[in-house]
Amino acid sequence: MRFARPASSTRPLICVLASLASLAAMAVSVERARSQSWRDLVGYTQLQSRLGGALPTGAGGVVSQVENAVTSGGAYYIDSSLASFNGSLDPRGLPVTFTDGSGGASHGISAHTSAVANRFYGDADSLAPGANNVVIYEVNHWLENILQYATEDVPLPQNYRVQNHSWVGTMASGNRSPQPHVEHPHNVSVLKRYDYLIERANQGAGMTAVVGVNNNTNPLPYLLSHSYNAIAVGRTDGNHSSGLTLAPDATPPDDSYGPGRSKPDVVAPLSSTSNATGGVSSAAALLYEALDPVGTAPNEVVKSLLLAGATKTEFTGWIRTPTQPLDDVFGAGELNVYNSYLMTLGGQQPGSQSPAAAAVSPFGWDYQDFKGNASVGDVYYNFEIPAGTIADELSIALAWNAEIEDLDASETGFLPSLALQDLNLELYSTTSTAMTLLDQSISAVDNVEHLYLRNLSPGGYALKVTGAADWDYGIAWRMNTRFAAPSADFNADGVVNGGDFLIWQQNVNTLVGATRATGDGDGDGDVDLDDLNLWKTTVIATPMPLAAAAIGAVPEPASLMIAAGLGAAPLVVAARRRPRRAA
């Protein structure tokens, strides 16, 4: 099959993140020289150990991978015979079913495609080994025949849960260096059309699009990191293009698309942006299954979960300001799928249009659709930090899509126009009689807002979302807490003994919503080995009276752990409400 190309177009300069370092280095990417694997570093191994067979695998729906043809022969396809894809390592014994979206599979296999795929949905080294239905495109064909960027035709639908783009490019040519950041009118056409498809995919639920930036510190590439609705990904080591989306320069053509927004949005601990992008795509696929196994969750929620879950402790210089929600180099921080998953367990917790609403749980998310409702006011989410508790972290991310309106009245024509709503976050202390503003995220140019606070004291807090009238948004939060005075006296009888151990044993593997009465000794909201170690340390340090010792004696914790079968202990899961979206 020949790749059709509009007669009016010229083939753009597209790179498999290959002007992003050397293609060979990316195709055979090796992680940073660390003692831990990338899955350890992003919390996947921890999640796997806690959930066992209940671990989401990214199953359900269809995902997509758009790849550049990296050889003169046009090879871009996958090696489906590899163990990562042939079913031999699959959790259900199923091979990946591949569909060639561009019709050029006969041109050959790309090592880059297979390497990215291994991080995205491969059984050997991804977070979504159950994502077994994949459509692969060649990027030039995708740009010309799906987006149809050089025509006046409507782009073709892309109804995937997640779509991965581990390439960068530009429609411009010339001798300005470094490429590929040079502006060009067709760059803007591509970006508008892609944002249009991201928002409208899956009957309006949207699609999570994950795109890479460059592997060096050149300016940000226009394609596709300047997209509003996609998630741009960099590397934890910071060796990638970063900063603000580009403004017009002095040399025509001077088109631009949303200048002044920080990119990337998130980073991952892999040694190339190609693989880091695949890794974030796999986390998104896992979260889709966790949110809604039989349907399609709003893409704004998935984006907010990824950003709110990201960690900052890996960086000494991470910073945000009220008007710049993300760090210029590291975005919201390093991907952490454990944190993001805990927020899905917290469940959907709708905001209130009253400041006096009941407190939400420490982990949770919400989706609100106020389209068609121009009179809606502020939306509130209240948090309560109990006495004797400290919130080490409060991380909140708000995400909404830029709307690309088609101003062409015909059914076949397409005249895209950008509309961007200005939503904001404000956090107040409500402990005293008056609400006191503590922090805010009020960027006028972004379509994400982010708050991150440390060491919050006990008391009440109110989060206010403004600007939601006539729009929809996703929001996610996590409040990581601890007791100021840890205690393993779970039954509050004044002594730590076998009765407290039994409480811990009955509730071990509770991931969110635990209390001291259910075996949470350190106050972090779960029941795990940390709480058992606290119990054991206290028992050893506090000799019991002889009479009590005879009654309360229990076998050594290690032997009871074996008898209880820790991995098979019941998983306590908070009820979830499926996201709903207006038709």
Q: Are strands 363-369 and 168-170 parallel, antiparallel or unpaired?
A: unpaired
* 281 in the same domain as 253: yes
Residues 364-384: what's their mean pLDDT?
A: 96
Q: Which of 64-78, 118-132, 358-372, 496-510 has the lowest mean pLDDT?
A: 64-78
Q: Are strands 424-429 and 459-466 parallel, antiparallel or unpaired?
A: antiparallel
The domain of 530 spans 490-568
Rounded CA separation 306/433 (Å): 35
Which DSSP helix (H) or strand (E) runs through 538? helix 529-541
Q: Report yes or no on 3 lying in a domain.
A: no
Q: Which residue has the tokens 């959907």?
A: 348
Give Cβ neighbours of residue 237 (< 8 Å, ≥ 6 apart): 32, 271
* 353 in the same domain as 336: no
CA 173 and chain centroid, separation: 34
Percent of the chain as helix, strand, coil, to the nearest 5: 25, 20, 55
* 139 in the same domain as 86: yes
* 219 in the same domain as 73: yes
3-state class (DSSP) for residue 348: strand
* 494 in the same domain as 466: no
* 269 in the same domain as 163: yes
Residues 157-173: what's their mean pLDDT?
A: 92
Residues 166-171: what's their mean pLDDT?
A: 90
Rounded CA separation 552/556 (Å): 12
Q: Are strands 162-165 and 63-67 parallel, antiparallel or unpaired?
A: parallel
pLDDT, residue 434, reads 83
Q: Report yes or no on 582 lying in a domain.
A: no
Which DSSP helix (H) or strand (E) runs through 41? helix 38-41
* 353 in the same domain as 284: no
Q: Report yes or no on 462 lying in a domain.
A: yes
pLDDT, residue 554, reads 43
Q: Report yes or no on 445 lying in a domain.
A: yes
Contact (CB, 8 A) for 262 and 328: yes
pLDDT, residue 180, reads 62
Amino acid identity for residue 427 in this structure: L
Is the pLDDT at 155 greater than 80, yes or no?
A: yes
* 445 in the same domain as 297: no
What separation in angstroms does the CA of 67 have from each of 14, 61, 317?
10, 20, 34
Residues 18-27: what's their mean pLDDT?
A: 35
With cut-offs at 50, 70 and 90, classify the pLDDT of residue 32.
very low
Please state, for a pLDDT cut of 70, what percent of the chain lies above it. Answer: 84
Contact (CB, 8 A) for 139 and 66: yes
DSSP character at residue 324: B
Q: Which of 5-14, 222-231, 254-263, 362-371 has the lowest mean pLDDT?
A: 5-14
Residues 426-436: what's their mean pLDDT?
A: 90
Residues 120-126: what's their mean pLDDT?
A: 97
Q: Which residue has the tokens 């969750």?
A: 297
Q: Report yes or no on 6 lying in a domain.
A: no
With cut-offs at 50, 70 and 90, classify the pLDDT of residue 565.
very low
pLDDT digits (tens, 9 = 90+) for 98-122: 999 999 999 999 999 999 999 999 9
* 104 in the same domain as 118: yes
pLDDT, residue 10, reads 53
Out of 432, 466, 482, a domain closes at: 482
Q: Report yes or no on 5 lying in a domain.
A: no
Residues 51-75: what's their mean pLDDT?
A: 91
Give Cβ neighbours of residue 29 (< 8 Å, ≥ 6 apart): 115, 270, 271, 272, 274, 275
Question: pTM of the entire structure?
Answer: 0.89
Contact (CB, 8 A) for 169 and 214: no
Q: Are strands 168-170 and 162-165 parallel, antiparallel or unpaired?
A: unpaired
3-state class (DSSP) for residue 430: coil
Beta bridge partners of 321: 324
Mean pLDDT of the chain: 87
* 448 in the same domain as 303: no
Tokens of 243: 């900063």
Rounded CA separation 100/121 (Å): 16
Residues 421-450: what's their mean pLDDT?
A: 95
CATH, residue 477 = 2.60.120.380
Residues 65-73: what's their mean pLDDT?
A: 85
Q: Give the chain's length.
A: 583
Tokens of 490: 């779970």
Beta bridge partners of 235: 268
With cut-offs at 50, 70 and 90, classify the pLDDT of residue 25.
very low
Out of 482, 498, 513, a domain closes at: 482
Tokens of 199: 């928002």
* 275 in the same domain as 136: yes
CATH, residue 336 = 3.40.50.200
Is the pLDDT at 86 greater than 80, yes or no?
A: yes
Answer positive or negative: Cα dihedral of 83, 84, 89, 93: negative
Answer positive or negative: Cα dihedral of 540, 541, 547, 552: negative
Out of 438, 455, 482, a domain closes at: 482
pLDDT digits (tens, 9 = 90+) for 170-220: 887 765 555 666 778 899 999 999 999 999 999 999 999 999 999 988 889
Rounded CA separation 366/381 (Å): 10
- Backbone torsions φ then ψ of 45, nearest 5 degrees: -65, -40
Contact (CB, 8 A) for 250 and 176: no
Contact (CB, 8 A) for 315 and 235: no
Residues 82-94: what's their mean pLDDT?
A: 94
Q: Report yes or no on 579 lying in a domain.
A: no
Question: Can the peptide bond before residue 178 be classed as cis, meaning omega within 30 degrees of 0?
Answer: yes
- Backbone torsions φ then ψ of 239, nearest 5 degrees: -85, 70
Rounded CA separation 452/398 (Å): 12
Rounded CA separation 472/480 (Å): 27
Is the pLDDT at 26 greater than 90, yes or no?
A: no
Contact (CB, 8 A) for 448 and 491: no
Which DSSP helix (H) or strand (E) runs through 427? strand 424-429
Q: Report yes or no on 581 lying in a domain.
A: no
Beta bridge partners of 437: 428
How many structural domains comprise the chain?
A: 3
Beta bridge partners of 223: 169
Which DSSP helix (H) or strand (E) runs through 380? strand 379-385
pLDDT, residue 173, reads 72
Is the pLDDT at 5 greater than 50, yes or no?
A: no
* 265 in the same domain as 282: yes
